[in-house]
Amino acid sequence: MKYALISPLEIREKGHRVAEVSNKAHEVAEPFYWVNCPDNLVADTIWYNEETKTFEEFALVTSVASPVITTLTPLQFINLFTDAEQLAIVTATMKDPRIKLWYDKLLISSSISLADPQISVGLDFLVEDNLITIQRKNEILPPKENK
């Protein structure tokens, strides 16, 4: 049996992202925690449903209606991006003043509304610079905000 590190800061579908899978549960800072998981579980492709204590693939629940979260902390928003996307964005802040300004505004915000047009504009910058695809932009923004 393996262990899955659950990230309650990263909401996925009706649960939380499985951030890591390990042979041994090591000490982690709150609010992260470990649960037993199947040996074949793969991090970042699964979410953990705390209510049912089950693991499910993201794709299995895409047709299930779930509440749309539209206000996030800056960390929650940044964590909507993959690690590779985050690194590409931070690298781009050193080269593109538009992205730098947008990113700096994100970091100093107390909360981020996905309905804010500035978020969509910033995501457009990321698409234009090939840091994310239009599909990723559409995954990040709530359906009615995708334009």
User: Does residue 8 sit in the same domain as residue 54?
Assistant: yes
Question: In this structure, are 92 and 42 located in the same domain?
Answer: no
Q: How many CB atoms lie within 10 A of CB 145?
A: 19
Judgement on whether residues 133 and 111 belong to the same structural domain of the protein = yes
> Do residue 18 and residue 49 come from a single domain?
yes
Considering 42, 61, 80, which residue would you say is the last residue of a domain? 61
Give the range of the structural domain holding residue 42, as residue numbers without chain letter.
Answer: 2-61
Q: How many CB atoms lie under 10 A from the CB of residue 109? A: 16
107 part of a folded domain? yes
pLDDT band at 8 (very low <50, low <70, confident <90, very high): confident
The sign of the torsion formed by the CA atoms of 39, 44, 50, 51 equals negative
Whether 120 maps to a domain, the answer reads yes
Tell me the average pLDDT across 5-24.
81
Total domains in the chain come to: 2
Tell me the one-letter amino acid at 13.
E
Q: Are 78 and 106 in contact (CB under 8 A)?
A: yes
In tens, the pLDDT along 22-77 reads 999 888 888 889 999 988 888 877 788 888 888 887 654 444 455 556 788 999 89
Q: What is the mean pLDDT of the chain?
A: 84
**Rounded CA gap, 42 and 3, in Å?**
11
Q: Residue 105: inside a domain, yes or no? A: yes
Instruction: Name the pairing type of β-strands 71-72 and 112-113.
Output: antiparallel
Residues 82 and 57 in one domain: no
112 and 80 in a common domain: yes
Residue 66 lies in a domain: no
pLDDT of residue 1: 84
Burial, 13: exposed, middle or buried (Cβ in 10 Å; 0-12, 13-18, 19+)?
middle
Q: Check residues 34 and 8 and name the one with the higher pLDDT.
A: 34
H-state helical runs in 39-116: 74-78, 83-93, 97-108
Do 17 and 81 belong together in one domain? no
Domain contains 49? yes
Same domain, 141 and 90: yes
CA-nearest of 33, 36, 35 to 8 is 33
Q: Report pLDDT for 98.
A: 93
- Residue-level pLDDT at 132: 93
Residue 2 in this model has a pLDDT that exceeds 50:
yes
